[in-house]
Chains A and B, each alone.
Chain A
Amino acid sequence: MLPALFPYKLLPYGFRRKYRPQRFIPKQKDLKSKYDVVIIGGGGHALACAYYLARDHGITDVCILEKGYLAGGNTARNTAIIRSNYLTPEGVRFYEQSLKLYRDLSQDFDFNILYSERGHFTLAHTDAAVRTSRWRAEVNKQLGVDSELIFPDEIHRLCPSLNMSDDVRYPILGALYHPPGSIARHDAVAWGYARGATALGAEVHQQTPVTSIIIENGTVKGVETPRGKVYANKVMQAVAGSTSVVAKMAGFRLPIRTIPLQACVSVPLKPFLDQIIVSGSLHVYVSQSSRGELVMGGSTDPYGLYSTRSTLDFKEGLLGHMLELLPMLGEVKILRQWAGMADMTPDFSPIMGPTPVKNYYIDSGWGTWGFKATPVCGMTMAHTIATDTPHELIKPFYLDRFVEYAQVGEKGAASVGH
């Protein structure tokens, strides 16, 4: 161990007599009656936006209104996979920028988000899946993103735990291998942004739902909360799982269906799986966290629902297929299951930027692909709000692209969303 890598930041804790706390979220203040920017939602995207508004644009009079506890929505519930091996050039550019930001985040925050590059494998079990994997690999490579279509021998070499046998219902024919695929501690990302944003002057208000939106002559003026009215020059909504509900308050609709996405973890095990494994055909994905738990998920639920309830059917379907890929895990146990609410769009790409209401911006449509976009979303939405112009990277994700028949088709690259 080089001295440079010594965890010297832990030393003060041992040598000080009293613990010196560092508040990640300042004590909640009273709600002012006016701010420069109000952000509806207090998850990763909202906090990231507040951070970049302050850091990059000097806009610090920002208020985040979170109806529950900080980042308690989808930010707390996702399976924390970060990758940029998408299908469309628009998507690849966007997520690749996110990866670039992610790599430096721990240093930016001075807070370890446990960012761990593990290598991401999207297994292909049919000819069509191999074809789509090649498509993604080619687009990735053309845009400078590290992805490769690999075949069973190479898959086995890189990922020895996988069952490569032909004696299964759907043998593995190939895989899209994306070495930069990573995992991180999802809550830590939100807390890091929270601390960064509030240190620069933003305010975070928890347990403060928005009950209506104040609009005059097609322009947003502010919002109403149980703690009073809050006026603002600009408002953004970033409320995955409640997007349509809040947009309805602002008087417009979106092409979104809200569908639960379930996940579960195993009891912690000593490390044996380093990679992130996804199978589109079998509708399962798995990685092993630094705590030792296997973090697993599958497709979205079969029907829409505004609930984080979980089901037995989800576990049955998931584990039946998981054991085909990793048959040594029959005796391993599930510790906990939960769900988030995924806002699914027709083309599996997000909806970002201005809305029919002037000065009202939206960050939404994050389906099953939101956590990995946290940094780039914050950065681009901050730019969009500060300059009144959509950032280059998010221009393709404009709300009207549907009625204009200009969708950004990512269904082939959302892990198992469909």
Chain B
Amino acid sequence: MKVMNCPLNGPRNISEFAWGGEVKPMPDPASLDDHAWGDWLFLENNEAGVVREWWCHVPTSFWFIAERNTVTDEILKTYPAGELFKDRVNFAPKAEKM
């Protein structure tokens, strides 16, 4: 049972966490054409190597980011999401669409 070092709660058994997949910051969907949007949405890097991922400590509902080697399962570092997502995300108002 691996140990995950939660930035909020410290080292906990990995069974206390939910995996959220690779960190893929969402571009403003309005700025992508249909195909590019579909690519962003569905395609995965699925890297065999060090990946930046979302993890959630389920009992405390705390989402954070981990850098993990997906081949050796070594967790290199963990940090709060705010270190990567610093600014408020806004969406530009729509021109008349739909």
> Do chains A and B make direct contact within the complex (CB under 8 angstroms)?
yes
Q: Which residues of A contact B (CB under 8 A)?
A: 242-245, 253-258, 302-307, 309, 311-313, 346, 402-405
Question: Closest approach, in angstroms, between the C-beta of A366 and any C-beta of chain B?
Answer: 14
- A402, B71: Cβ atoms under 8 Å? no
Q: Chain B residues near A306: list those with CB within 8 A.
A: 48, 70-71
Question: Closest approach, in angstroms, between the C-beta of B46 and any C-beta of chain A?
Answer: 4
The 10 closest A-B pairs by CB, nearest first: A403-B38, A303-B19, A244-B46, A402-B42, A255-B42, A253-B43, A306-B48, A306-B71, A245-B48, A306-B70
Q: Chain B residues near A245: list those with CB within 8 A.
A: 48
Q: Chain A residues near B41: list those with CB within 8 A.
A: 402-403
Give the interface SS of chain A, mostly helix, strand, loop or mixed. Answer: loop
Q: Chain A residues near B42: list those with CB within 8 A.
A: 255, 346, 402-403
Q: Which residues of B contact A (CB under 8 A)?
A: 1, 14-15, 18-19, 21, 34-35, 38-39, 41-48, 70-73
18 contacts between A and B (CB under 8 A): A243-B46, A244-B45, A253-B43, A253-B45, A253-B46, A254-B46, A255-B43, A255-B44, A256-B46, A302-B14, A302-B15, A302-B18, A305-B73, A306-B71, A312-B1, A346-B42, A403-B42, A405-B38
Question: Closest approach, in angstroms, between the C-beta of A229 and any C-beta of chain B?
Answer: 23
- How many residue pairs between the two chains, A and B, have CB atoms under 8 Å in the bound complex? 64
- Bound: A245/B70 CA distance, A: 12
Question: Closest approach, in angstroms, between the C-beta of B66 and any C-beta of chain A?
Answer: 10
Q: Chain B residues near A253: list those with CB within 8 A.
A: 39, 43-46
- Bound: A244/B22 CA distance, A: 14
- Bound: A243/B47 CA distance, A: 10
- B73, A256: Cβ atoms under 8 Å? no
- Bound: A303/B75 CA distance, A: 13
Q: Chain A residues near B15: list those with CB within 8 A.
A: 302, 313
